[in-house]
A and B are shown apart, each in its own frame.
Chain A
Amino acid sequence: MAVLGVAYLLFSNTQRNLEIRGIESGFAFLWQEAGLPIGDSLIDYDPSRGYGYAFLVGVLNTLLVSILAIVFATLLGIVVGVSRVSKNWLLAKCASIYVETLRNLPLLLILFFVYTVVLASFPHPREAIEIAEGYYISKRGIYLPRPLAEDGFAVFAIASVVALVLALVFWRWARNYKVRTGRSVSGFWGGLAIFVVLCALSYFASDKPIGSELPVYKGFNFKGGFALKPEFAALLLGLVLYTAAFIGENVRSGIQSVHAGQIEAANALGVSSGVVTRQVLLPQALRVTIPATTNDYASLVKNSSLAVAIGYPDMVSVGGTIIGQNGQAVEIIAMWMAVYLTINLFISLGMNVLNARVQIVER
């Protein structure tokens, strides 16, 4: 009750103070024309859109960089963690130097460093490095050809879906076949082969329906194609490098939590090393690794707010501009909090489900 009372008092006091100072409040501004330019947008944006839409562009950018960073940080983290316990001395030392360095530097410094290095090492777009036709690297980013759907794409898309379904059917059949007969057929490789072969056949049968739009240097910048901007690349790289150090340590502790005797016992029974890893080591290591990694994912999402320092238009950057233009800080900060809270609750939910699946089922 006291908490509710205090919350109410804070709320009404804030409202009163805002009124006294003549500051607008409420969320009506979300529908007003934003008028602010945003460089990187996943959805079609122009300054005549509303503040709410501009904020959404920022939220999507935050989501994009967070999701990609989580995926890559996890992959790199696994490599680092496995290297840490590797018997190869050089590999283990390199991994531990990596972890100790990255973990002990502020992320903001890493971001500035990565961004400065990216900008300093890449050439001006006039002298862009051309890797292959349509692939350019310059200070303006990495430009790639953009795939374009041409006539017959629908046929190809449907055929691909059918191929995927067939591959899944084969995978399930292989599993059941093993259970029934004890003979092992690789469902994964077989399914993949079915998928690739069928897709390739339909691609040529429907007369190559995927074209590409090449980036061309014109005036000041490259036009067309698919661009990976330096701000986005630097932010992604910084977040991945930093978070992977932490995830690597989670993976290492997970691996080391499995008693060495179990691995030795499995080896003594003549079980192949791949099966030992998948059936003995991983299920037990994951129990230790997943809860700690949930925290790192949540930190990563929150850390993505440092984007503003290196000019990537994430939610905090766009929101900051909105505050600068209309002064409604309370509302924007509430929206920031709501979005971060929602993202992180979803991450927690997903990770808890995963965690529940790998925990020991006690009978």
Chain B
Amino acid sequence: MRESTKLAAVTVAALLGVGAAGAGTLEDVREAGELACGVSEGVPGFSNPNSDGVWEGLDADVCRAVAAAVLGDADAVRFVPLASKQKVLAVSSGQVDLTSRTTTWTMKRDSAEGVDFTAVVYYDGQGFMTSAAAGISSATELNEATVCLTTGTTTELNLADFARANNLTLEPVVFEGKREAVEAYASGRCDALTTDSSQLAAFRAGFADPSEHMILPEVISKEPLAPLVAHGDNQWKDIVTWVVYGLITAEEFGVTQANVADMAANSGNPAVQRMLGATGDTGGFIGLDSTWMVDVLSAVGNYGEIYDRNLTSTLGLERGVNAQWNEGGLLYAMPIR
């Protein structure tokens, strides 16, 4: 009996200990000296390890930007590849500090699944790719077609909704991993592949002959992709949110990786001075150094540079709706002041 009481006491202590940890993610990250950042298992352009094992992509660079702001070191990131169905759970359970992994901001996830979304880093939408030989020009002609997709995502729901709304019968083949879904499509198992349009473009660029495949014009859903953090830590949510806004604002004001040091010292624009910590202390609002944006921009560059490096130059994705608000796009960062 005494033995079992002791065991129970130890267990209670362990459980309470677990409960007490996580007072603040910022302190935890600083103490660990690295940022645990959830990324995909490999989506070109967003998060994908290159031949040297270095993670590349827009989502990976968002992780680096946050690490630069919080720790002053963009390389202090531990990338954690997450399967689709883990991406929300991993962050709500505290396995990672932040998930930056082509995750759609939906009401249910934001409210009932224990996570908070920060700021949209990419406005996407679900589309279809078919082989050019199929000879169709619209997704509404896909009746009776077989469609490959991946599990645990909003993609499945959108596909079912689209089929119901348009009276189509679509036969889904649902895979655990993106790679298996793409391979099944490429081998001819499916007539069409469906996922976010940006990823379709990435996969199409990776085929031996991209001209054999075409992306259909319909975009059947809104997919605002945003990094997410655990619900309940407002300071940490603010940090990630404002790092993203900082990246977008820097592009708007023309602050780049190359000129950030010069701008911090010599810019005559008060808004730029505030953001780069030359006047005032915007970093102090969220518990960071006043030079937080200088660290971020000198590490990864502004949003436009990140986009160009990861999506335009390698995959040929144009800015489209992801241009700045004053250039006809949807990117509208809240003012840093």
Contacts and interface: CB of A to CB of B under 8 A. Distances in A.
A92 interface: no
Contacts of B163: 37, 47
Given A119-B187, A311-B175, A324-B151, A18 B157 contact: no
Interface stretch (A9-17, A192-200, A339-347): A9-17
A321 B112 CA distance: 16
Contact of B85 (A18, A24, A323): A323
B176 A317 contact: yes
Interface string A31-51: 000011111000000011000
Nearest to B10: A6
A288 B231 CA distance: 56
A281 B97 CA distance: 63
A221 B171 contact: yes
A13 B15 contact: yes
A308 B154 CA distance: 17
A324 B84 contact: yes
A21 B230 CA distance: 8
B144 A323 contact: no
B112 A218 contact: no
Interface stretch (A183-191, A254-262, A325-333): A325-333
Given A17-B19, A320-B152, A326 B188 contact: no
A220 interface: yes
Contacts of A317: 151, 174, 176
A21 B232 contact: yes
Contact of B8 (A6, A39, A218, A231): A6
- For chain A, the bracket of interface size reads 35 or more
A220 B164 contact: no
A64 B302 CA distance: 54
A21 B180 contact: no
A325 B108 CA distance: 8
A228 B170 CA distance: 17
Given A139-B187, A223-B144, A321-B156, A37 B172 contact: yes
Contacts of B15: 9-10, 13
Contacts of A13: 15, 18-19
B113 A220 contact: no
Interface string B5-35: 1011001100100110000000000000000
B161 to A, nearest CB: 7
A2 B4 contact: yes
B188 A324 contact: no
Interface string B102-115: 00000011011111
Nearest to B175: A311
A274 interface: no
Contacts of B160: 35-37, 47
A120 interface: yes
A57 to B, nearest CB: 12
A120 B112 CA distance: 43
Contact of A9 (B12, B88, B189): B12
Interface in B145-176: 145-146, 148, 151-154, 156-157, 159-161, 163-164, 170-176
A45 to B, nearest CB: 11
A44 to B, nearest CB: 13
Interface in A144-196: none
Interface in B87-142: 88-89, 92, 108-109, 111-115, 134, 142
Given A220-B144, A221-B146, A327 B113 contact: yes
B191 interface: yes
Nearest to A4: B8
Contacts of B109: 327
Contact of B174 (A20, A24, A311): A311
B175 A309 contact: yes
Nearest to B89: A329
Contacts of A36: 156-157, 160
A47 B114 CA distance: 26
Contacts of A18: 114
B151 A308 contact: yes
B286 interface: no
Nearest to A229: B173
15 contacts: A2-B7, A6-B8, A9-B12, A13-B15, A36-B156, A39-B172, A119-B184, A119-B188, A311-B175, A320-B152, A323-B85, A323-B89, A324-B88, A324-B154, A326-B108
Interface of B: 4-5, 7-8, 11-12, 15, 18-19, 84-85, 88-89, 92, 108-109, 111-115, 134, 142-146, 148, 151-154, 156-157, 159-161, 163-164, 170-177, 180-181, 183-184, 187-189, 191, 230-232
